[in-house]
Amino acid sequence: MDLDRPPLSRIIEEELVGNRILSHFYYPKYVKALELTGNERVLEFGSGGGLMSRALIQVINRGGSLTCVDISEYWIKKAQKRMRDFSNVEFRLGDITQMDLPDNAYDTVVIHFVLHDIDPAKRIDVMNALTKLLRPEGTMVIREPVKPGHGIPLAEIRTLMRDCGLREHRSGCTKSWRWKWVCDGVFIKSW
């Protein structure tokens, strides 16, 4: 897979479905459910073109900040363009396991439909890297599809989180109009 230039079908999907529908209805509703207060330091892992980032930044408006991380230069540039009017957002390009970000610096890490695309053998390294970035009692929020062949089961999510030293606050699966089933979880970093 070319990480610098996604397939044309993915670009069209983001523009037609993501930018015109999801960014107006789904993402704001999802972000509202995160119950952020507005002053958090949030890291969005796999921010893509910044569709959810726009919804997050609207909520992180009381002294908070957002760090958008993605491995694709194409998507980071797209996100930078979408978020150009906001001063409290930072963009980081590269592999999270190789990034020089401060430990214990983020209140919340958001993973949204990203982990299932990572090679299963590399998921624990990615999750360990993300967990290091969370402050003690910080929150890891995850939502992933469950579709066989293009998803990740809730049991695996729970195991990954536990193996990284996170404790489950809540998790479960719900029906989705697009993916059939999605799993959500909120996990807390122990001291």
DSSP line for 167-188: EEEEEEEEEETTTEEEEEEEEE
Would residue 2 count as lying in a domain? no
23, 51 contact by CB (below 8 A) = yes
Would residue 1 count as lying in a domain? no
Would residue 168 count as lying in a domain? yes
pLDDT of res. 2:
45
Q: What is the pLDDT along the chain (191 residues), one digit of tens a residue?
A: 445 666 666 665 666 555 555 666 677 888 999 999 999 999 999 999 998 999 999 999 999 999 999 999 999 999 999 999 999 999 999 999 999 999 999 999 999 999 999 999 999 999 999 999 999 999 999 999 987 778 999 999 999 999 999 999 999 998 876 657 899 999 999 87
The total of structural domains in the chain comes to: 1
pLDDT of res. 19:
55
| Tokens encoding 131 | 């967990």
pLDDT of res. 164:
96
* CATH number, position 120: 3.40.50.150
Would residue 3 count as lying in a domain? no
178, 160 contact by CB (below 8 A) = no
Q: Is 113 exposed, middle or buried (0-12, 13-18, 19+ CB in 10 A)?
A: middle
Would residue 182 count as lying in a domain? yes
Would residue 165 count as lying in a domain? yes
Would residue 115 count as lying in a domain? yes
pLDDT of res. 90:
97
Q: Which domain holds residue 15?
A: 8-189
pLDDT of res. 148:
77
Would residue 161 count as lying in a domain? yes
pLDDT of res. 1:
44
What residues does 44 pair with on adjacent strands? 68, 110
Q: Which residue has the tokens 């993916």?
A: 179
pLDDT of res. 12:
59
Rg over alpha carbons for the chain, rounded to the nearest Å, is 15
